[in-house]
DNA sequence: ATAGGGTTAG
C-alpha cells in the first residue's frame, strides 16, 4: 500500500500531521521508516509523537514497537516515560508499567509528576495483589502529590477494585475537593458489596448539589440489582427520567436498567426497556434478559432469546448455562457447555463456577475432573476463592472427599471464607465424617471466620449423620446464645433428624411443637424416617398425616405411609392409602440412578430395560442374583407394599434403578475403577445389603450418593455403618 | 497527555 502523504516529507517539513492522521499500525510503520529516511529519528519530538501513537494504539504489536523505539532513545523525557507507562497500564501486562517506573527512578534523571501516578495506579488496579498499589501510594505521599484530585480519584478506584472499601472511603473523605468523578468512583465501588452505602452516598451527592451523570446512574442501577429491591429500582428509574435532559441515555445505561429489572424478576419492565434496544446487539442486555427469564423459570423463553442473539460472548453462554444450572436442569447445563467448547469460546471463571455446580449436583465426577484439569490446573485463571470453593464442592459432592480435602489444605489461611468452610463441612457431613466436620468447624471459629446460618446447617447435619447427639445439642444451643444466629427451619430439621435417629422420638416431637414456626414437609419427613427406623408406628402415622396435609401432591408421602402401615401388618389401612393415592391421580415419583462413564451420564429408571446395552445388563443382573443366592442372601421386601406375592416383590426390588446402574457399571468399568452411582431417592434397605455383599463378591469399591449422604461400599461393609 | 461505567457467581 502506498502512503498518500509522501510529498509532505520535504526538507524542513515536519511529519507530525501525518502521524496524527494515521489510521493503522501499518501506516504508522511507514511514517516511521520515512522519519528514519529523513534523518528525523534523532528528533526527539517526532520520536515522542511516534512512540505515543504506537504505545496508545491499543494493540500488542503497537506497544512492542513503541518499546523498541523507546529503548533507542538515550535519555527519554518525562512525557515519554509517562506515555510508556500509560501504554502498559492498559495492556495485558500492567506490571510492566511498574517495571518502567522503577527504572525511571533508578536512572535518576526524571521524577514522577501528577500525570505519572494516575497511569501507575491504573496498572496497580489490574494486578492480582494490592501490595504494589500500597507502595505507589507511599511514593505519592513522598513526592507530595497526595492532594491532587486526579490522583485521589485513582486511589479510590484502586482500593475499591481490591474490595478495600473502607480505605477507599478514607481517601474519599480526606479530599478537600470532591467532584463528580470522586462520587461516581466511590458509588461504583460500593455498588456490588455495599449497595445501601452506594445509595446513601448518592443522596449526599445530591445534597452537595453535584449533578449525577449517566455513570452515576449505571452504578446506582447496579446497586439496585444487588439489592433486588424493585421499589428502590423504580425510584431511581423515575429520578433518571427527571434528569434525562442532562443525561445521555446510552445503551450501557439501558443495559443496567434492564439488568436491574431482570434481577428483581420484573420481566415486563425489563422487556419495556429492552424493546427499545433489542435490534442492537448489546450482548450485555440480551444476556441479562436470558438470565432473568431463566431465573423466573421461563427457561424456554430464555433459550429462545439466547438462540436469537446476533452475537454471543462468554457472558451470554454463561448466562444460559447458569440459567439451566440454577433451575435444576444440570444435564442441559453441561450439554450447552460442551456446545460452547465446540464453538471455540473460552470459558471464564464464572462459567467454570456454573459448570462445576452442575457437576456437583449431578455427581458427575469425570466431567468435573476434566474441567478442573483442563481449564483450572493448567489454566489462566486468577486465584479466585469462589472458583476454588466450587472445585472443592464438586469433589465433595461427587464422592471424592479426599481430593476435596487435599485442595482445601493447600489454601492459604487468610483466603479461607465462610463459604469455603461451610462447603467442606457439609461435604464431610455427607460422607458421615462427623468428628472431622466438627474439628473443621472449631478451626473455623478459632480462625475468626464468620459463622452464618449455613455453617450451622452443615455442622448439625454432620452430627446427625454420625450420631453425635450431645455435640449436636450443644451446638444448637450455642447458635443463638453464643453466636447470635437465630435457628431457622433447616436447623430445627437437623435437630429433629438428630434426636429421631437416636430414638428420642418424644424429644423430637416436643421440639417440633416448641418451634416458632409451623413445621414444613422436611421436618415431618425427618420424623417419619426416624419412626420407621425405630418402629414407632403410632407417631409415624401422625407424621405421615401431617405430611399429606402440608404437601398433598407428593406421591412419596403416600408410599411412606402405606409402607409404614404394611410393616405393622395393617394391610387394610395400607391399601386404603394406596387407593387414596390412585383416586387423587398421584403418581409415585420415579426412582432413577445416574452412573457416569467416560464423561457421559447414563440414567436408569427402575424396571426400565430400554438401555442400548440392555442385553449385557440383563445378563449381569442374572449373574448378580446367582452370586447373591450362593452366599445365602434372601431379599428383604419390607419396603415393597404392593399386594403381590413374595417372589414378585423380590423381583421388584432387584430391578431398582441403583441395581441396574450397578449392573451397567460392572459390565463397563475396569476392575480397579470405583463404581459411582447417584440416586434421586434414598437407597432402599435391601439394595443397601445387596451392595455390601456385592462389594465383597466382586471385590469392587462402590460409592452411592443418595439424597441424604454417601455410602462407600467396600469389602462387605458400608461407610455409613448402617446408620442412615 | 491524567481519574469513573454495564453483563455472569459459591
C-alpha–C-alpha distance, residues A650 and A645, integer Å: 9
Other Cβ atoms within 10 Å of A104 Cβ, number: 21
C-alpha–C-alpha distance, residues A458 and A324, integer Å: 26
The pLDDT of residue A25 is 72
Q: Which residues contact A43 (CB under 8 A, 6 or more apart)?
A: A35
| Nucleotide in closest CA–C1' contact with A83 | B1
Residue whose Cα is closest to the C1' of B10: A386
Query: Would you say A585 and A591 are in contact if contact means Cβ atoms under 8 Å apart?
Result: no
The pLDDT of residue A646 is 56
DSSP A348: -
* 264-283 of chain A touching strand B, CB 7 A cut-off: 282-283
The pLDDT of residue A244 is 75
| Nucleotide in closest CA–C1' contact with A287 | B7
The pLDDT of residue A649 is 63
Whether CB of A420 is under 7 Å from strand B: the answer is yes
Domain membership of residue A617 (yes or no) is: yes
In this structure, what C-alpha cell is assigned to residue A135?
Answer: 507502595
Least Cα distance to A45 among A76, A1, A11 occurs for A76
Other Cβ atoms within 10 Å of A595 Cβ, number: 24
Q: Which residues contact A530 (CB under 8 A, 6 or more apart)?
A: A496, A497, A499, A500, A501, A503, A505, A508, A536
Sign of CA dihedral A611, A616, A618, A620: negative
Whether CB of A180 is under 7 Å from strand B: the answer is yes
Count structural domains, chain A: 1
Other Cβ atoms within 10 Å of A215 Cβ, number: 18
A416: phi > 0 → left, psi -120 to 50 → alpha, else beta; which? beta
Whether CB of A256 is under 7 Å from strand B: the answer is yes
Q: Which residues contact A626 (CB under 8 A, 6 or more apart)?
A: none
A432: phi > 0 → left, psi -120 to 50 → alpha, else beta; which? left
Whether CB of A422 is under 7 Å from strand B: the answer is no
Query: Would you say A219 and A194 are in contact if contact means Cβ atoms under 8 Å apart?
Result: no
Domain residues for the domain of A697 are: 592-718
- 3-state class of A703 per DSSP? strand
C-alpha–C-alpha distance, residues A537 and A515, integer Å: 23
Whether CB of A151 is under 7 Å from strand B: the answer is yes
**Distances in Å between the alpha carbon of A604 and those of A207, A331, A616, A708?**
65, 15, 14, 19
* 307-326 of chain A touching strand B, CB 7 A cut-off: 313-315, 318-319, 322, 325-326
Residue whose Cα is closest to the C1' of B9: A350
Q: Residue A249 CA to B8 C1' — how many Å?
A: 24
Domain membership of residue A654 (yes or no) is: yes
Domain membership of residue A443 (yes or no) is: no
Domain membership of residue A512 (yes or no) is: no
The pLDDT of residue A564 is 74
Domain membership of residue A111 (yes or no) is: no
* 86-105 of chain A touching strand B, CB 7 A cut-off: 86
Domain membership of residue A39 (yes or no) is: no
Whether CB of A80 is under 7 Å from strand B: the answer is no
Q: What angle do CA A457, A462, A464 make, to 5 degrees?
A: 95
* 619-648 of chain A touching strand B, CB 7 A cut-off: none
Q: Residue A689 CA to B6 C1' — how many Å?
A: 57
Whether CB of A182 is under 7 Å from strand B: the answer is yes
Whether CB of A496 is under 7 Å from strand B: the answer is no
Residues of chain A with pLDDT under 50: 1-13, 642-643
C-alpha–C-alpha distance, residues A604 and A526, integer Å: 27
Q: Which nucleotides in chain B lie closer than 7 A to a protein CB?
A: 1-10
Domain membership of residue A247 (yes or no) is: no
Domain membership of residue A484 (yes or no) is: no
* 436-475 of chain A touching strand B, CB 7 A cut-off: none
Q: Residue A471 CA to B6 C1' — how many Å?
A: 49
Amino acid at each position: 500500500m502506498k502512503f498518500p502523504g509522501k510529498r509532505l516529507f520535504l526538507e524542513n517539513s515536519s511529519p507530525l500531521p501525518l502521524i496524527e492522521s494515521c489510521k493503522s499500525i501499518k501506516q504508522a510503520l511507514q511514517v516511521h521508516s520515512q522519519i528514519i529516511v529523513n534523518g528525523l529519528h534523532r528528533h526527539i519530538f517526532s520520536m515522542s509523537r511516534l512512540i505515543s501513537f504506537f504505545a496508545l494504539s491499543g494493540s500488542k504489536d503497537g506497544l512492542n514497537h513503541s518499546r523498541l523505539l523507546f529503548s533507542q532513545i538515550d535519555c527519554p523525557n518525562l512525557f515519554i516515560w509517562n506515555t510508556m507507562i500509560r501504554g502498559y497500564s492498559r495492556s495485558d501486562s500492567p506490571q510492566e508499567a511498574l517495571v518502567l517506573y522503577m527504572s525511571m527512578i533508578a536512572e535518576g534523571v526524571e521524577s514522577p509528576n501528577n500525570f505519572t501516578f494516575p497511569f501507575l495506579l491504573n496498572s496497580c488496579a489490574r494486578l492480582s495483589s494490592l501490595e504494589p498499589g500500597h507502595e505507589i501510594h507511599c511514593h505519592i505521599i513522598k513526592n507530595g502529590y497526595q492532594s491532587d484530585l486526579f490522583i485521589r480519584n485513582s486511589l479510590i478506584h484502586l482500593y475499591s477494585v481490591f474490595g478495600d472499601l473502607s480505605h477507599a472511603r478514607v481517601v474519599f473523605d480526606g479530599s478537600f475537593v470532591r467532584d463528580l468523578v470522586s462520587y461516581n468512583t466511590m458509588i461504583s465501588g460500593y455498588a456490588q458489596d455495599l449497595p445501601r452505602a452506594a445509595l446513601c452516598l448518592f443522596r449526599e451527592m445530591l445534597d452537595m448539589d453535584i449533578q449525577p451523570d449517566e455513570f452515576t446512574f449505571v452504578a446506582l442501577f447496579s446497586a439496585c440489582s444487588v439489592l433486588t429491591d424493585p421499589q428502590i429500582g423504580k425510584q431511581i428509574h423515575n429520578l433518571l427520567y427527571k434528569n434525562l435532559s442532562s443525561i445521555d441515555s446510552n445503551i450501557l445505561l439501558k443495559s443496567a436498567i434492564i439488568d436491574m429489572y431482570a434481577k428483581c424478576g420484573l420481566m415486563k419492565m425489563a422487556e419495556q426497556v429492552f424493546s427499545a434496544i433489542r435490534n442492537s446487539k448489546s450482548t450485555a442486555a440480551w444476556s441479562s434478559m436470558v438470565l432473568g427469564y431463566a431465573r423466573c423459570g421461563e427457561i424456554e423463553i430464555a433459550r429462545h432469546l439466547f438462540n436469537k442473539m446476533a452475537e454471543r460472548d462468554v457472558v451470554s453462554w454463561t448466562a444460559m448455562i447458569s440459567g439451566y444450572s440454577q433451575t435444576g436442569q444440570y444435564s442441559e447445563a453441561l450439554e450447552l457447555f460442551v456446545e460452547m467448547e465446540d464453538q471455540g469460546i473460552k470459558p471464564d471463571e464464572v462459567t467454570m463456577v456454573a459448570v462445576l455446580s452442575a457437576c456437583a449436583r449431578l455427581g458427575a465426577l469425570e466431567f468435573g475432573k476434566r474441567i478442573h484439569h483442563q481449564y483450572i490446573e493448567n489454566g489462566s485463571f486468577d486465584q479466585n476463592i469462589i472458583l476454588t470453593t466450587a472445585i472443592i464442592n464438586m469433589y465433595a459432592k461427587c464422592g471424592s472427599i479426599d481430593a476435596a480435602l487435599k485442595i482445601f489444605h493447600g489454601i492459604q489461611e487468610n483466603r479461607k471464607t465462610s463459604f469455603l468452610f461451610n462447603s467442606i463441612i457439609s461435604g464431610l457431613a455427607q460422607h458421615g465424617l462427623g468428628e472431622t466436620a466438627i474439628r473443621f468447624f472449631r478451626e473455623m471459629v478459632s480462625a475468626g471466620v464468620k459463622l452464618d446460618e449455613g455453617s450451622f446447617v452443615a455442622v448439625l447435619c454432620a452430627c446427625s449423620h454420625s450420631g453425635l447427639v450431645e455435640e449436636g445439642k450443644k451446638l444448637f444451643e450455642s447458635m443463638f446464645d453464643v453466636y447470635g444466629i437465630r435457628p431457622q427451619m433447616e436447623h430445627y430439621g437437623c435437630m429433629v433428624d438428630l434426636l429421631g435417629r437416636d430414638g428420642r422420638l418424644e424429644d423430637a416431637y416436643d421440639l417440633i411443637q416448641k418451634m416458632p414456626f409451623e413445621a414444613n414437609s422436611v421436618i415431618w419427613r425427618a420424623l417419619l424416617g426416624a419412626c420407621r427406623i425405630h418402629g414407632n408406628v403410632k407417631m409415624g402415622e401422625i407424621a405421615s398425616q401431617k405430611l399429606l396435609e402440608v404437601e398433598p401432591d407428593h406421591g412419596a408421602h403416600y408410599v411412606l405411609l402405606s409402607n409404614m402401615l404394611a410393616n405393622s401388618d395393617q394391610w387394610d389401612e395400607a391399601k386404603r392409602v394406596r387407593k387414596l393415592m390412585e383416586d387423587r391421580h398421584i403418581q409415585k415419583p420415579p426412582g432413577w440412578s445416574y452412573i457416569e462413564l467416560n464423561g457421559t451420564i447414563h440414567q436408569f429408571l427402575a424396571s426400565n430395560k430400554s438401555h442400548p446395552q440392555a442385553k449385557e445388563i440383563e445378563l449381569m443382573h442374572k449373574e448378580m442374583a446367582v452370586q447373591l443366592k450362593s452366599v445365602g442372601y434372601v431379599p428383604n421386601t419390607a419396603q415393597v407394599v404392593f399386594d403381590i406375592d413374595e417372589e414378585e416383590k423380590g423381583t421388584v426390588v432387584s430391578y431398582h434403578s441403583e441395581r441396574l446402574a450397578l449392573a451397567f457399571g460392572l459390565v463397563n468399568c475396569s476392575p480397579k475403577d470405583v463404581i459411582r452411582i447417584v440416586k434421586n431417592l434414598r437407597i432402599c434397605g435391601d439394595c443397601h445389603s445387596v451392595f455390601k455383599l456385592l462389594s465383597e463378591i466382586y471385590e469392587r469399591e462402590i460409592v452411592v450418593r443418595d439424597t441424604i449422604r454417601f455410602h462407600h461400599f467396600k469389602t462387605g461393609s458400608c461407610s455409613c455403618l448402617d446408620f442412615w
